[in-house]
Structure 1
């Protein structure tokens, strides 16, 4: 029985521990915090409960599949709630509600952006085929150029839309830029403006509309708590309050880990779920990998950061569960976040108001507001300690004026502010880049850090900084890829991958499978 140490109790680390322990390995998890989940954990402020990071849960079929692979049912551990509608988008002069119901979307588009309805039908048809083609690239290892030469990869390559941006691609379906933005705002969390993001990522909005977005009662933090419960049932030890000083290397092998206490622990394999940039510059700073030396890591392209307000308020506002507010000049806002790295006065804001779905998160008649503003990462020269209070005031003013949150400041009972510096210093997020490495084509697939981290024989990566990329379900998929690589190496049976399920709305199913 081989001993495997997992560094980090985030969703990637917990998933890999579940799969490996289920396969018979002796697994232990080491976590520096006194809680599991990493960015997918809870924040408790007085009587108010918040999710620390992820709040959108899509690809629920994958989450269920992972639990099924260990002989369990997800619903025995958490209570998923399908959101209807999915979210509301707020422009300078209009609002647009996004649904997973085909008829509702057609009517909303016809009313808000007349003449674009048939483009939506074509978008569903063509993007489903794109997702079917690209899925194999997201579910299997991409550790070498030969992986790009498989029949599935060759079939998928045209769908990467080389030379075509996401806005270019959406322009093939919709003639209104604001409607195009409704299908592209997710790209900012990949580290890119939709004007530079590869057209392949048109699948992101489709996944939401075809398969739904979910909330878990108590917050998405309940998912990682459920995973920890499964590990407890498997007798897997999770060491909380146990930070790692370094991963101990000798020639082409990892010998073990050294705790900050100085204790050296030996193992057969190590799975690293720490933030990628942090792992390379702190835990593996003497790595033999020339490609991922600290100097090379610094030169890579990274996602934006986020400025967070977690607000416990003594009232309830008329808001959807998810609301995305676009800057009045969205393109300039994206350029300031990603390129010039300036702090926008005309900002985009995401607000989660989960009490409309889940009243367990706040006292009766009150609510939690999770407020996120994408901002430049810490490669910028922004002095957050000097500007954070001024930026907070501007953020609240914008919410009051554009979302109609009257007297918001006066209703705040509890509050926590979290800046990019906090992400870096308190959560070990490299340069505060909340969504990890960017997803430019030169940082995807074989060009992204590999799940099997060479030059070491027994070092494996999971999380947003490795293949296939960031986002909660994709991180979980990275864990299955890495677990399967270990199983394959040892001649053991690997975990299967199910085909894509049918869409939630039968009309979307019929359209996406129709012959064009």
Structure 2
């Protein structure tokens, strides 16, 4: 090891914990500072009585990314968490029709052919082309874009013909599928990026492909167990993780980050600062006014943001007839999406996501009961919606949909079963979780906010300051957040080398234990 670096990491979300693992495993002095009293940020546990819920993300996709993070720190993921594959992936409901993809691509193709005649073979063509696209896109997700010249790299030039960036997700899917409902089934993942499939760059059709190719996993205890596992691995390597230690500001001297000041007034010096706080919040709250020219409050107001989410966490005194994941699509899904992303209003008929993990995982609720998670995508707080005024009406709509889905008479039948409940609105995301404008999925992934045009992993305006998380390259979602930490940790270490060795820390993303054909290794 060269210089022993003293690193202060702001935030114990997955990006900050991954950076802590990587840096501590290299022998550096790592201090993680978390404002909340719980680990994981949006990937944390919410405990209500005897029930346990995931606060945000509810499934693990691209398992090999997380496995390789642990391998890079001489650890094995499966020694920390027990994982169960979710099959089928989810149940998608369009009116009275239900589609539950799962098993092998061939099995899903047969199901598609039965439900959407003429589209089974089209699905297999989609999978084949997306497999090649991912192999080309993967190197771009593994490398930093520190200069505009990155667009002329060999990796970019190889990927460019298959990026589909000039298309939208919906337009790309229209080339494959003839049934509009099937296009929705492979485009709702655009919401993971907080975007409309009619606006989201066509590159991101790889999201649904990755779900079908690699599967979805549930860690016993919930996805929050991933955060706990990462924290434990980081501590084993010597990282100090301080809970309830919020950072008031980043100390910058002569253009260089040299420490942090805590809410308590305590100051900690550091060679480098890694920011895992929500990007919009960090840019507008953690620097002295005038430090950042590119991300002033006025300029942040012009950035495109993701949508938000309205959450209900329900401890239910019954086992309900629901699968692990279920999405109820609005009859006019396009109008519902436009309401959220363009008109910035609440839809009369919204879509709804229902998570029922206690059916698979008995640790989340007492026997015979259910830990139910309901999520409604809604506009972020730029909408001006008064959530105090609208919250009960939205709750009613969600519970009415739940009652109908479970064959219960009405909302009062649902309410009679509720033992524990917590509601989380966009205001709560902003005020309690410090998410800028309540935009749950961070900055939008429009073409003008991707790769070099996204906030960079090495902060361009403050030296020795790095970003990890959904607000930097490669973007939102647990796998890409982990990759952002790998990129940033490598850049940080490289800055102390006379001849930095640009090497990819992440190998091929494997399916079934073998590196994907065509993927770099």
TM-score by length of 1: 0.96
Larger deviation, residues 64-73 vs 494-503: 494-503
Are residues 1:90 and 2:99 paired? no
Aligned to 1:200: 203
| 1:232 to partner: Cα distance | 1.9
Give the counterpart of 1:440 among 441, 446, 449. 446
SS in 1 for 2:416: helix
Aligned pair in 2 of structure 1 residues 366, 64: CA closer, same or farther (>3 Å)? same
Q: Tell me, yes or no, if the aligned pair for 1:275 and 1:429 is still in contact at 8 Å.
A: yes
Aligned to 1:307: 310
**Aligned-partner Cα distance in 1 for 2:146–2:504:** 18
Cα deviations by residue, 1:183-234 (Å, 9 ceiling, x for unpaired) = 0001023122111111111100110111110000000100110111112212
Aligned pair in 2 of structure 1 residues 212, 320: CA closer, same or farther (>3 Å)? same
| 1:256 to partner: Cα distance | 1.0
Aligned to 2:334: 331
Aligned to 1:230: 233
Q: Tell me, yes or no, if the aligned pair for 1:212 and 1:504 is still in contact at 8 Å.
A: no
| 1:176 to partner: Cα distance | 0.6
Larger deviation, residues 227-236 vs 369-378: 227-236
Are residues 1:50 and 2:59 paired? no
| 1:381 to partner: Cα distance | 1.5
Q: Tell me, yes or no, if the aligned pair for 1:27 and 1:236 is still in contact at 8 Å.
A: yes
**Aligned-partner Cα distance in 2 for 1:338–1:176:** 24
Gaps of 5+ in 2: none
Give the counterpart of 1:248 among 248, 251, 259. 251
Are residues 1:293 and 2:296 paired? yes
Q: Tell me, yes or no, if the aligned pair for 2:321 and 2:406 is still in contact at 8 Å.
A: no
Q: Tell me, yes or no, if the aligned pair for 1:275 and 1:436 is still in contact at 8 Å.
A: yes
Q: Tell me, yes or no, if the aligned pair for 1:451 and 1:461 is still in contact at 8 Å.
A: yes
| 1:163 to partner: Cα distance | 2.8
Aligned pair in 2 of structure 1 residues 505, 496: CA closer, same or farther (>3 Å)? closer
Aligned to 2:319: 316
| 1:502 to partner: Cα distance | 3.6
Are residues 1:430 and 2:421 paired? no
Aligned to 1:274: 277
Are residues 1:498 and 2:507 paired? yes
| 1:405 to partner: Cα distance | 5.1
Aligned pair in 2 of structure 1 residues 448, 362: CA closer, same or farther (>3 Å)? same
Aligned to 1:389: 392
Are residues 1:417 and 2:423 paired? yes
| 1:251 to partner: Cα distance | 2.4
SS in 2 for 1:245: strand
| 1:456 to partner: Cα distance | 1.6
Larger deviation, residues 415-424 vs 193-202: 193-202
Are residues 1:169 and 2:186 paired? no
Are residues 1:453 and 2:459 paired? yes
| 1:35 to partner: Cα distance | 1.5
Are residues 1:209 and 2:215 paired? no
Aligned to 1:117: 120
**Aligned-partner Cα distance in 1 for 2:446–2:67:** 29
Q: CA RMSD in A?
A: 1.7
SS in 2 for 1:98: coil
SS in 1 for 2:60: coil
Q: Tell me, yes or no, if the aligned pair for 2:194 and 2:444 is still in contact at 8 Å.
A: yes
Q: Tell me, yes or no, if the aligned pair for 2:126 and 2:176 is still in contact at 8 Å.
A: yes
Larger deviation, residues 395-404 vs 149-158: 395-404
SS in 2 for 1:106: helix
**Aligned-partner Cα distance in 2 for 1:399–1:29:** 40
Q: Tell me, yes or no, if the aligned pair for 1:188 and 1:334 is still in contact at 8 Å.
A: no
| 1:504 to partner: Cα distance | 7.9
Gaps of 5+ in 1: none
SS in 1 for 2:383: coil
Q: Tell me, yes or no, if the aligned pair for 1:102 and 1:505 is still in contact at 8 Å.
A: no
**Aligned-partner Cα distance in 1 for 2:290–2:55:** 31
| 1:503 to partner: Cα distance | 5.4
Give the counterpart of 2:380 among 371, 377, 382. 377
Are residues 1:478 and 2:487 paired? no
Cα deviations by residue, 1:322-375 (Å, 9 ceiling, x for unpaired) = 111111110010001001100112011111100121111000000111100000
| 1:102 to partner: Cα distance | 2.0
**Aligned-partner Cα distance in 2 for 1:274–1:502:** 32
Are residues 1:81 and 2:84 paired? yes
Cα deviations by residue, 1:3-58 (Å, 9 ceiling, x for unpaired) = 10000000000000110111121110000111111111101100000000111210
**Aligned-partner Cα distance in 1 for 2:438–2:182:** 31
Q: How many residues align?
A: 510
Q: Tell me, yes or no, if the aligned pair for 1:101 and 1:505 is still in contact at 8 Å.
A: no
Aligned to 2:366: 363
Cα deviations by residue, 1:253-292 (Å, 9 ceiling, x for unpaired) = 0121111111222111000000000000000252533221
1:25-44 equivalences under 5 Å are: 25-44=28-47
Q: Tell me, yes or no, if the aligned pair for 2:310 and 2:377 is still in contact at 8 Å.
A: yes
Give the counterpart of 2:19 among 4, 10, 16. 16
| 1:495 to partner: Cα distance | 6.2
SS in 2 for 1:21: helix
SS in 1 for 2:251: strand
